[in-house]
Structure 1
């Protein structure tokens, strides 16, 4: 299933969502709240991983992660980027999120990590 908001596209899978933010966007708390509502409606209480596929250039207000950390179904967060500025930004953002947070250059590696994390949480009775 795919959902498009004015600033992003989200593609949903069993254990994760892949989000692609549009070029030039600034991800604010308001935009993050919109995404969170869509994620809550889809995943309910099932653990999932949010994968942001950073193929476009955009900005994120890192303080949004304080609220994102409170989302109990969010098992982990992944940034996929091949660009040095994107990786550098992700390292900085990681300090603001109180969830497992990984950075990959390859989307397939991110998906494997997401599936493994969610399957482990399910086995533990999340």
Structure 2
């Protein structure tokens, strides 16, 4: 499971692996529509024609416009989202955001659980 590519964007860091992206948003960032543009560009470049999972490692405090989720679910090969919140408040926010995304969306306590779920999901497709 070696890293394929690393991106240091203005508001986040993205780690591209075979089958998934691990994204870590920077402290204080506000995630809005532009994030979907970056996400879509990464998916087109690295996952063209292949299913993939977006894993959000929520290690820092930041804000998310939940209206990005209906737009993100239109990305055809984005099959699921996994969230790894660091705090209870982050977990509550992730639970709220789940209502805006109609594809598989799970919340995990650690990266290991998210990776196991992502691999299992991709194997079934």
TM range (shorter): over 0.9
* 1:88 counterpart residue number: 92
Match 1:20 to one of 24, 39, 53: 24
Deviation at 1:60, TM superposition (A): 0.5
Aligned to 1:75: 79
Once residues 103 and 49 of structure 2 are traced to their aligned partners in structure 1, the CA distance between those partners, rounded to angstroms, is 16
Distance (whole Å) between structure 1 residues aligned to residue 38 and residue 107 of structure 2: 24
Map 1:44-123 onto structure 2 (within 5 A).
Answer: 44-121=48-125
Of the structure 1 ranges 69-78 and 30-39, higher mean CA displacement relative to structure 2 is found in: 30-39
What CA deviation, in whole Å up to 9, does each residue of 1:43-72 have, x standing for no partner? 112001000000000010000011101111
SS in 2 for 1:44: coil
CA drift of 1:34 comes to 1.7
Are 1:8 and 2:16 matched, yes or no?
Answer: no
Runs of 4 or more consecutive aligned structure 1 residues displaced over 4 Å after TM superposition:
none
Bigger mean CA offset, 36-45 vs 78-87 = 36-45
Runs (5+) with no aligned partner, structure 1:
122-126
